[in-house]
Amino acid sequence: MPGYHPYSEAEAIELARSFPDVFSPEAELSCREIGDGNLNLVFHITEPATGKGLIIKQALPYVKVFGESWPLSIDRARIEGEALRIQHALAPELVPQVFLTDHEQAITVMEDLSDHVILRKGLMDRTVYPRFAGDISTFLAQTLFFTSDLGMSQQEKKLRQQAFVNVELCQITEDLIFDEPYREHERNNYEDAIADEAAALRADGALLTEIALLREKFLTRGEALLHGDLHTGSIFALPESTKVIDPEFAFYGPMGFDIGAVIANLLLNYAGQEHWSADDASRKDYREFLLETVRGTWTQFSAKFRTLWDEHGQDPVFSNAPGYQDLYLDRLLQDTIGFAGAKMVRRVVGFAHVADLDAIPDDAVRERAKRLALSIGKELIRQNRSFRSIEQAIDIALTAAAR
Amino acid sequence: MPGYHPYSEAEAIELARSFPDVFSPEAELSCREIGDGNLNLVFHITEPATGKGLIIKQALPYVKVFGESWPLSIDRARIEGEALRIQHALAPELVPQVFLTDHEQAITVMEDLSDHVILRKGLMDRTVYPRFAGDISTFLAQTLFFTSDLGMSQQEKKLRQQAFVNVELCQITEDLIFDEPYREHERNNYEDAIADEAAALRADGALLTEIALLREKFLTRGEALLHGDLHTGSIFALPESTKVIDPEFAFYGPMGFDIGAVIANLLLNYAGQEHWSADDASRKDYREFLLETVRGTWTQFSAKFRTLWDEHGQDPVFSNAPGYQDLYLDRLLQDTIGFAGAKMVRRVVGFAHVADLDAIPDDAVRERAKRLALSIGKELIRQNRSFRSIEQAIDIALTAAAR
């Protein structure tokens, strides 16, 4: 990393001044580092007089987890910056605009979205996002279709796949999602109260076989440029706006992994709604909103994806084969469901958790919510290859919650 | 291509002299250019006094086909040289040794195999190769297993996949095998006598759908480092020896594509045996040898692949999932059969043909052989996703030939 150094707040302000479209030359700027400090520096530069702002994100050459520092290539900043540019071009309203990428300094300068709320927090506060299913299905359809062999030059796609080889961050996914939760591992992290569930996972042969099939898909299927980490912590939202951020896990993988991430995190929040008392009418309402959003994410995605295929399909073989589009979408739903289930399970017994469940203060309720999340997740995994309709996922969630 | 120039025979001899392990310093060397002149220069350097020799292969920056020259990157020489090294390390008896690769000059210097015969020619001469099924199944099991996520570091595999992105040569396959034969295209090449068959292909919806599924697999599944062009013209053979050459189409793709190429070319020769009269007892014997070789290629491959997996599996998730290995091999057989069928069809109606069929002098017999090849190929494609055993392929071939 010749020349690389972590920026100070003063350096971040100096860099911000080089964007005259945002800040006037004599602007009084203030800077706050708002990253979690584990992976990246995130400088939020604002001009209090005008309310204008910029985000400067810089990758750190290590990741702090598990009490220690691991080296992690700052090349992920190049991947994130390039993925943001591609995704912004394909879904301009749904991805922050990038103003500058500096690969040597591992810096991305982008649009300030600090008026938005992290979707996970919004869902935990039971905010209703009427636009979300529509927006995220547009993001998914646009970014997955137009980076795949269906929607772009198949020669350029190979070069793009080559540029987005993302060894280290894929390994994190391979380990944390498709391996460790299903065996004894020091990084696994679950409460004693559900140790029986963790042990049952390790002994569930049918489940292990489905996980092996999903791991294989993750390792081998270069279908489209994925976001790669599309949970509700990677989405900024307002009731009237959705912005997808942080694609540092981007790589060419199976489309269902991104769609499944969205559905998994909606259902994790659904499980976390145990937190509210069962006779609270709005618990029922909010769960209905969540399931409606699961349904809408898939049905709107698949409708938009089919329309893009019909209108912009690049490959006559794929466009002219009778029934091929139906087979493709059926298989994609099955992948989506399998990946959604795997992403739910790992958030309960694996290394990295979600606040939707972990922040529930009452021990018994939290345990119930986690068992519910596991129950839904396992059922999605078990049934994934026989899915024919998203309604089966709705039924699984309703049935599990009614127990 | 700074510094690149096509070598003269004198330059080839001079380069050959730099291998003192092969030629003594004062050796009298002779040189013959034996390439077909379309894609590569191939210099065969020999020392008549000792019988020793060397092959110097140099890629040309164009390909001569269809009466014109197309530019074609000499980077394919790097890919071929690196693939040969990897394959030689994994199957030393079955791949020529590489002595030098020079990426700037697009040159690979390798072991002289001129005592061997191109397998296609050997099969056309009805030579029996008792070792072939054993040898090719070893080559396939070793090279496919140890370059896949099952048999090597999954991180190094990603970097290797990146190094073997092979845009131009993959496009040749995508066009000639998975596209043009199924529509009207100026490069298609079939005799008037079978124009009805070519027209029927274009109207066969079920077949077009299977071809779309196979094309998708070819475009997206990075399972292992394939040879990429494993027909019987890429294999040098003697009854007691097998050598796989010319992996310039190497890339990370679906394993079944290589296995299917072998089976397709055995079955193309099987169809070409129409050439010999039906009451010729050795026609029946030779077809039995060919079908036994088809059977042995798959059964020995799958047994060897399973043994490698059991003994050298790198991934505990794949090794511990009950029944996953069976599912994997079932699916791999289906891919193999589908790709075999596609490779047969294109050799009859597409751009590039095989001498096993085209060299049959009698018009009526040649037509019958081509119809037989098409009949077997189409049936393999149609049934590929329901295959459970290689015996189904044997039955298809026997039934078609008995008609």
Task: Quote the pLDDT of residue A70.
Answer: 77
Which H or E element spans position B261?
A: helix B256-272
CATH number at residue B327: 3.90.1200.10
Judging contacts by C-beta atoms under 8 Å, the chain B residues touching residue A219 are 149, 154
What are the tens digits of pLDDT across the range A291-312? Answer: 999 999 999 999 999 999 999 9
Question: A347 and A206 in one domain?
Answer: yes
Q: Does B319 touch chain A (CB under 8 A)?
A: no
Does residue B4 belong to any structural domain of this protein? no
Q: Does B51 touch chain A (CB under 8 A)?
A: no
Does residue A78 belong to any structural domain of this protein? yes
| Residues contacting residue A88 through CB under 8 Å, at least 6 positions apart | A95, A96, A97, A98
Which H or E element spans position B197?
A: helix B195-202
Query: Does B117 score more than 90 pLDDT?
Result: yes
Question: B132 and B42 in one domain?
Answer: no
Domain-terminating residue out of A111, A138, A166: A111
Task: Quote the pLDDT of residue A294.
Answer: 98
| Min Cα–Cα distance to chain B from A182, Å | 8
Task: Quote the pLDDT of residue B275.
Answer: 86
What's the number of domains chain B is made of? 2
Query: Does A37 score more than 80 pLDDT?
Result: no
Question: B334 and B229 in one domain?
Answer: yes
What are the tens digits of pLDDT across the range A102-116? Answer: 999 999 999 999 899
Q: Give the mean pLDDT of B302-320.
A: 97
* Identity of residue B109: V
Question: B154 and B105 in one domain?
Answer: no
Work out the angle between the directed axes of helices B363-383 and B256-272 (0-180°, nearest 10).
Answer: 150
Q: Is residue B57 part of an annotated ligand binding site?
A: yes
For B154, which of A211, A219, A318 is closest by C-beta distance? A219
Does residue B3 belong to any structural domain of this protein? no
Task: Quote the pLDDT of residue B65.
Answer: 63
Query: Does A66 score more than 60 pLDDT?
Result: no
Does residue B2 belong to any structural domain of this protein? no
Task: Quote the pLDDT of residue A275.
Answer: 87
Judging contacts by C-beta atoms under 8 Å, the chain A residues touching residue B222 are 220-222
What are the tens digits of pLDDT across the range A136-155? Answer: 999 999 999 999 999 999 99
Query: Does B123 score more than 70 pLDDT?
Result: yes
Which pLDDT band holds residue B276 (cuts at 50, 70, 90)? confident
Question: A60 and A195 in one domain?
Answer: no
Q: Give the mean pLDDT of B125-153.
A: 98
Enter the ipTM.
0.96
* Identity of residue A122: G
Query: Does B68 score more than 90 pLDDT?
Result: no
Does residue B139 belong to any structural domain of this protein? yes
What are the tens digits of pLDDT across the range A51-65? Answer: 999 999 999 988 766
Does residue A304 belong to any structural domain of this protein? yes
Which H or E element spans position B7?
A: none
**Which residues form the domain of B62?**
9-111
Question: A269 and A139 in one domain?
Answer: yes
Query: Does B37 score more than 80 pLDDT?
Result: no
Inter-chain contact A317–B179, Cβ cutoff 8 Å? Answer: yes
Query: Does B66 score more than 60 pLDDT?
Result: no
Q: Identify the closest residue of chain B to A149 by CA–CA distance.
A: B219
Query: Does B77 score more than 80 pLDDT?
Result: yes
- Distances A221 to A171, A253, A344, B27, B158 between C-alpha atoms, Å: 15, 5, 21, 53, 12
What are the tens digits of pLDDT across the range A358-367? Answer: 999 999 999 9
Task: Quote the pLDDT of residue A71.
Answer: 83
Question: A356 and A213 in one domain?
Answer: yes
Does residue A1 belong to any structural domain of this protein? no
- Gap between the terminal Cα atoms of chain A: 55
Task: Quote the pLDDT of residue B383.
Answer: 98
| Min Cα–Cα distance to chain B from A323, Å | 7
Inter-chain contact B317–A158, Cβ cutoff 8 Å? Answer: no
Does residue A35 belong to any structural domain of this protein? yes
Question: A358 and A222 in one domain?
Answer: yes
What are the tens digits of pLDDT across the range A17-26? Answer: 999 999 988 8
Question: B246 and B102 in one domain?
Answer: no
Q: Identify the closest residue of chain B to A255 by CA–CA distance.
A: B220
Q: Give the mean pLDDT of A169-194.
A: 96
Domain-terminating residue out of A91, A111, A131: A111
Question: B344 and B227 in one domain?
Answer: yes
Question: B218 and B134 in one domain?
Answer: yes
Residue B82 structure tokens: 């690196």
CATH number at residue A88: 3.30.200.20
| Percent of chain A whose predicted confidence (pLDDT) is above 90 | 89
Domain-terminating residue out of A70, A86, A111: A111
- Residues A294, A264: contact at Cβ < 8 Å? no
Question: B221 and B281 in one domain?
Answer: yes
| Percent of chain B whose predicted confidence (pLDDT) is above 90 | 89
Task: Quote the pLDDT of residue A38.
Answer: 73
